[in-house]
């Protein structure tokens, strides 16, 4: 297999693999349990959409809109306009979610750190 094919296969495998996740400590569901958000690896197509926004605030909100998923892989904010994310949500929470997504530091990352610390 050539290198280009290996790269394409890597993305395919990553998109079909385990979702990354993070607990949102500030958000609780109807049972009082903390909300967990999920995401897949970022594609260039998604990044182009995010980069199409002009301000950093809009780009952060677009990152959450276009990447944040539920446990079944469905986009959580698919029907939510960017303007709503900008005006109707705690921006610090959205910023934290976006940071975890772009840095790859979800709970899987934390579990890896805990495993290393045990050794």
- Cα angle, residue 38 at apex, residues 50 and 118 outer, rounded to 5°: 120
| 71 half-sphere exposure, CB direction, 13 A CA radius | 3
* pTM for the model: 0.80
Enclosing domain of residue 82: 3-118
> Is the pLDDT higher at 118 or at 67?
67
Could you report the per-residue pLDDT of 19-37, keeping only the tens digit for each?
889 999 999 999 999 999 9
3 state SS of 65: helix
Q: How many domains is the chain partitioned into structurally? A: 1
Q: How sure is the predictor about 12, in pLDDT bands with cuts at 50, 70 and 90?
A: confident
Question: What number of helices (H) and strands (E) belong to the chain?
Answer: 6, 2
Look up the CATH number of the domain holding residue 107. 3.30.2220
Could you report the per-residue pLDDT of 71-91, keeping only the tens digit for each?
999 999 999 999 999 999 999
């Amino acid at each position: 297999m050539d290198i280009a094919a290996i790269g394409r296969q890597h993305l395919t495998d990553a998109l079909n693999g385990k979702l990354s996740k993070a607990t949102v400590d500030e958000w609780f569901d109807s049972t009082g349990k903390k909300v967990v958000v999920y995401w897949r690896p970022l594609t260039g197509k998604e990044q182009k959409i995010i980069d199409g926004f002009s301000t950093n605030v809009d780009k952060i909100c677009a990152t959450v809109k276009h990447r944040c998923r539920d446990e079944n892989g469905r986009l959580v904010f698919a029907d939510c306009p960017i303007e709503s994310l900008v005006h109707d949500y705690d921006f610090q929470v959205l910023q934290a979610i976006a940071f975890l997504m772009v840095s790859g530091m979800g709970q899987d990352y934390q579990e890896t750190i805990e495993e290393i610390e045990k050794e």
